[in-house]
Structure 1
Amino acid sequence: MAEALRRTMDGLYLLCAWAAGLAFVLISAVIPWAVFTRYVLNSAASWPEPTAVLLTILLTFIGAAACYRRGQHMNISFFVGLLPDTGQRACALAGELLVGAMATFMAIYGTGLVETTWHNTIGDFPFLSVGVTYLPIPIGGVFLLLFVIERLLIGPPVVPVGSAEETR
């Protein structure tokens, strides 16, 4: 069972990493296009800025879940490292539970935000629901919660041999 859960979470992690990476690449293409149309063509395109904002929402919430799973999120462990082993374990558990609470909050209230704004449209994209743009919040929350559950049940994922994290 643990191996099946780990494989499933590995697949979910790859999905998150690819989605965040693709969003980052697209942002990197859209912003220069906006600058080009504004300053070279003297005719600013209306779609690059809202597109970049939408992609940033995706990058932020889905990318954060991927970073959390790999332990690449921001954390300050200096004072925790000064504690005895039992204190370190208690702090680690408290941290996991707090992240799980935040993920639950994102999933529940993010879903409410999506439902509330579902029938509104974006001025620059009248075919796109505002609710769709907020979907990464509850989805990222669910993914983050699944990664917390994975850590609590079977521990953090093992860093592959030869990875950059191994040399730290």
Structure 2
Amino acid sequence: MTAPNRLTAGLDVVLRLLRNACLVVASICLVVLIASFGWLVFGRYVLNATPTWVEQLSLLLVGYITFLGAAAGVHDDGHLGVSFLRDGFGPRVSSVLRSVSDLIMTGFGLVMFTASTELVRFGWSSQLPMLNLPEGMRAIPAATCGLLVALFCGVRALRRMLGDAPATDAFLLENL
């Protein structure tokens, strides 16, 4: 195994662990969201005392589910994308276009991380209504997603530059 391959193999393990952590946290948030709505229905119709905190909790959890799930989708290269133009070219041009796309997404992820981190700082001094948590917690998943998108796409572009194409490229090349 060459040095670049060892480097990218080690990075792949770390990135897969990060992706799995995103999916675990998003899944736990989804279970908590469903349970809280069950409590809302029970409280409203059985106890005749609607828990008012459920709406605020659900708004917070949906952000975590969405952004962490999106980051995992970017890692898997299965997130929303328009690929018919890129895949219509030959393998070499397609690989260049994939690298350009990954570099653009890396930049987007860094901007998203920077802007969301500023939102976390800005909102940390105020409280979420009914939850008594810092308002900045709403922006933490966006900052995390931005950082992970930059990391996932940056490593994918780096692998192509080192001549160690990601598995998704090999699959596409075989099926062209």
For the aligned pair, the TM-score class normalised by the smaller chain equals: 0.7 to 0.9
Report the Cα offset of residue 142 of structure 1.
1.0
Partner of 1:16: 22
Runs of 4+ in 1 over 6 A off after TM superposition: none
Is 1:109 paired with 2:82?
no
Partner of 2:55: 49
Unaligned runs of at least 5 residues, structure 1: 160-168
Identity of aligned residues (%): 27
Asked if the contact 1:6/1:157 (under 8 Å) is kept, the reply is: no
Could you tell me how far apart the structure 1 residues matched to 2:131 and 2:97 are? 45
Supply the AA of the counterpart residue of 1:104: L
Structure 1 length normalisation: TM-score? 0.84
Asked if the contact 1:9/1:150 (under 8 Å) is kept, the reply is: no
Report the Cα offset of residue 102 of structure 1.
1.6
Partner of 2:129: 123
Unaligned runs of at least 5 residues, structure 2: 1-6, 169-176
Partner of 1:134: 139
Report the Cα offset of residue 6 of structure 1.
1.5
Could you tell me how far apart the structure 2 residues matched to 1:157 and 1:85 are? 13
Partner of 1:85: 91
Could you tell me how far apart the structure 1 residues matched to 2:39 and 2:167 are? 40
Asked if the contact 1:27/1:52 (under 8 Å) is kept, the reply is: yes
Partner of 1:76: 82
Q: Report how many residues are paired.
A: 158
RMSD between aligned alpha carbons?
Answer: 1.9
Structure 2 length normalisation: TM-score? 0.80
Asked if the contact 2:56/2:129 (under 8 Å) is kept, the reply is: no
Report the Cα offset of residue 106 of structure 1.
1.1
**1:64 aligned residue (70, 86, 101):** 70
Asked if the contact 1:108/1:138 (under 8 Å) is kept, the reply is: yes
Could you tell me how far apart the structure 2 residues matched to 1:98 and 1:37 are? 48
